[in-house]
Chain A
């Protein structure tokens, strides 16, 4: 697994000398006349490709496969040579596409047969190729920079593929010598060279397998005819050079073009990294897995059977590798049918044919973002089978985890790609910001339902969602404050709280104790964020100012709790004979509450406290829904609370806001218009 092997850089040097304009002498009949139209029409003479056209289209096919399978880090530099060299692209990533190359090739055009053959030579291109290999790529530069003192680990190797029309073995030797000389001059390059000499017909140059010309240079000579033969050869080479292997998907059902209601089975051959077959190679299963050797005896392919997908269910397969594919015959109908099917988002499981007849799914074809991958699925027995269930381990017996809430938390903490261009390099990386968000969101996060009150209350949601934010807007602070006032309101109305009764006998804590727990919890939550910004702090201040009982009050209440519990019992019994007594009790309690109310009024309604101004505006009627309007028969509790409410309303001064409201509405923060917000803030603190 070397990043900087010879495959990192490939230079194509294609001969553009006048002799390349010669015909390949292979004719293509492109005018196919149908019987009905054939009469009296003279068919077009067949066209024939020049040696140049053959060389270009075969090299482009090599590039196409390479770019499909390795869109990154396997680079091609394309050089054309005639009376001088023409470098058609650079090593830069944005120059690496067949479209770029085609465009540059079109600009070069076919060789000019009238050019003086004496000044033209492939040598110009070969020298340029060696020089080009000496140029460092973006990736090499990046790695060398990061490695600093061990930069020499980033090797500089490369491969040159030369397509020319050499006249003799001596000619080839001369070319090799020239490359060797150039390499020595440059004195820094270890390169492996493949020569590809293509000829019209008779082999003037003989094939020669890989040979080490010097420690820096190996060379290989292939002599092939233009056209199909050259294409086949280059196809084999691209597989060898880039560790590719071939898989043939068989039994693909496809609608016939002519007979739409029938379907025939087709095969499609795909190329991909050979590691997708690793398991077959290792187990020596190659033949069992349906290997077949092609007619030319050079290429092997493994056959896998198409399994028509039944459902579109989303499943996480155990996949040990995923490799990009490139169809061998990209624009054939079966190929494009298969690739379009996959590009439309379907996945196809592939079955490994086995002698025994047992069905083994070994691979899957699937596209991700317009790229098709051959996934290798694990088909062996898992070493992790039969693990102890999570419910048997730590925390496994707990039944009231906040699964739904955590699900919601996960949705809020989903990730999205942030384009590198929009990322400010001086700032935190997006992933660090994501971690930061997780940290903020979990500062106070009880894991089980019975550990929390506030997260079981719909009323707290707006505040809980906002307070975890990195920064708050003025509007956010308002929403948080509204939430707090709403809670105050609930408490005043004595609304029940979803306090867990787990672990406590009977009904659990008393209502006011419940509110105390709730306020404590809310304060804990907000305190963990209060340090973030002033606005966060203001939310905390608001809670502290609004929560019902100041600490010393709470102490006093605790002392009185025993009495209340007794009262609670009688209330629960609710039998008629205790009615009177309960009324007495409630009267006594009323007195107690009145006293408290007065005490708190001293604070809340004191002239130098702006707190009443912050009081929640009565905007919606349901918030002020008086108990009388509750449907159904009036309960004892309602009667009791009504009495208290009425008694209270007589005893305390009405809030300034409510008194001077218009249509039950009162503008908040009027003082902000004159003063700055800090005053409110400080006063809020002082009111504690």
Chain B
């Protein structure tokens, strides 16, 4: 989930912070300090996150496009300049553009808005934007909610009391509500100082940027892993199941399935599964360290050299072309597979299925997948030539069962002509003739279209009179038999008009 850091660089951010100490800080310095801490945390614990840095006042500017280069982000923070007044609306428009250009409109995004709670004055101020919300034309819609799923974190370099003195807090809350409600407003607790700004960003880190650690199990084999990006809790049906579901920290493999059988299933999110070494100190800032490369070489080399189940699993999944079905929680499953980024690089990935007992119709209920060893004979065949998948639904779909639709006249004409074509080729086409005839008969009965049955009977009788002299004698018998049966059905007489009844070919024997 990429992050956009939206930094307020209006003049109000340069307000000095009254401190007893000798050094004088501006709010901007506090904000930069907090962001530096966030970037440092991400560089070591959340390195795969793409982050962009935007600065805004009445205008906005993309200082650093989406990157994983946290040095570049920190460097840009060091070179911030001061501009005029705060204009949140235009900045949010900027965010919307920047994110959509890079990631499209489906990718969830986190926006970290850093401001001092002084939200501008007059036209362009947040207050003005929110007041005129309803008067916006369709062409100039307020940017929130963004088209992409958003988590909005507002980092206010001001304490809650200060925000509540004006309507700033109300406006920020309204902003959060407009963005879809997913997110949080963080304020400073206590006096404005380095320590408290650290505490505030610490809360953001715990809330949104703590790495997700789990243990991947396959029977007695296991590996500590980091799942990136963090799987977010989801709500399935706000009415019946209002509680969000979260992914367990124990991921349990239940079995294996061929890629061809799982067949490009729909997934709600994709995550890297990175093996980690948990023997390290967990006492550092944030949670456990995960990054092997930044560590001193000896430690990472050690970790690299002791066998890890993830690597084994990845290798075999890749070679065999299979996926591992993994249980994420009660009635929630996903799959593990090898994903190649390039010819050389590949990785263990996990995709999450929609929560529920049967996320993929072609696999059926996951709880009803059992080990093949229980089958009398291997359902994959001795040479892997067959497969028990996909599961067939009990009822065929309309396009797989030759349904009759006569809404367009052409549909009816085609069906009638098909019967006549076969009628002219009797007795060779006896089977097809009766099959088509019965199909028409069934539909006509269901639709209460008895007139058609009479009409068809007339047509068959006429065909009978038009038979050439060379025709097989059976043709005439079959045609008049069929015509008679249709006529009987068209009376609605229950003996002849039963839906499940089929007109059988007349039994004729010309051999003797």
Contact = CB atoms under 8 A, between A and B. Distances in A.
13 contacts: A32-B413, A41-B462, A45-B455, A53-B448, A57-B405, A283-B105, A368-B360, A370-B396, A384-B272, A390-B310, A415-B372, A417-B388, A443-B220
A407 B398 contact: no
Interface in B233-249: 236-240, 242
Interface in B295-310: 301, 303-310
B399 A339 contact: yes
B221 interface: yes
B164 to A, nearest CB: 35
A370 B270 contact: no
Interface stretch (A396-404, A510-518, A547-555, A673-681): A396-404
A154 B240 contact: yes
A250 B413 CA distance: 26
Contacts of A153: 239-240, 242
Given A315-B264, A385-B341, A398-B311, 7 more contacts: A60-B446, A316-B337, A331-B414, A368-B360, A394-B303, A430-B374, A433-B371
Contacts of B325: 415
Interface in B376-414: 379-380, 384, 388-393, 395-400, 402-414
A388 interface: yes
A433 B2 CA distance: 40
A314 B349 CA distance: 18
A335 B262 CA distance: 26
Interface stretch (B31-39, B115-123, B315-323): B315-323
Given A412-B373, A415-B325, A445 B266 contact: no
A185 interface: no
Most chain A CB neighbours (cut-off 10 Å) among B105, B303, B305, B360: B105
B267 A29 contact: no
Nearest to A30: B416
B255 A326 contact: no
Given A30-B455, A326-B397, A380-B104, A319 B267 contact: yes
Interface in A1-46: 1-4, 28-32, 37, 41, 44-45
A314 B240 contact: no
B225 to A, nearest CB: 9
A423 interface: yes
Interface in A382-398: 382-398
B134 interface: no
B264 A319 contact: yes
B144 interface: no
Interface in A415-433: 415-420, 423, 429-433
Interface in A91-140: 96-99, 101-103, 105-111
A231 interface: yes
B96 to A, nearest CB: 11
B454 to A, nearest CB: 8
A41 to B, nearest CB: 7
Contacts of A319: 264-267
A440 B319 CA distance: 24
A58 B442 contact: no
A397 B404 contact: no
Interface in B334-356: 337, 341, 344-349, 351
Nearest to B276: A394
Interface residues of B, number: 150
Q: Which of A107, A331, A441 has the most C-beta atoms of chain B within 10 angstroms of its own C-beta?
A: A331
- Residue of B268, B346, B367 ringed by the most chain A CB atoms within 10 A: B367
A282 B409 contact: no
B240 A147 contact: yes
Contact of B311 (A65, A395, A404): A395
A383 B46 CA distance: 13
A105 B398 contact: no
B206 interface: no
Interface string A133-166: 0000000000100010000011100000000000
B352 to A, nearest CB: 11
A155 B240 CA distance: 9
A371 B258 contact: no
B464 interface: no
B238 A47 contact: no
B183 interface: no
Contact of B316 (A31, A343, A403): A403
B458 interface: yes
B479 to A, nearest CB: 15
B50 interface: yes
A2 B147 CA distance: 22
B277 A394 contact: yes
A331 B404 contact: yes
Contacts of B337: 316
B236 A330 contact: no
A477 B409 CA distance: 72
A387 B347 contact: yes
Interface stretch (B152-160, B174-182, B492-500): B492-500
Contacts of B266: 319-322, 375-376
Nearest to B258: A414
Contacts of B388: 416-417
Interface string A50-81: 10110011101100110110010000000000
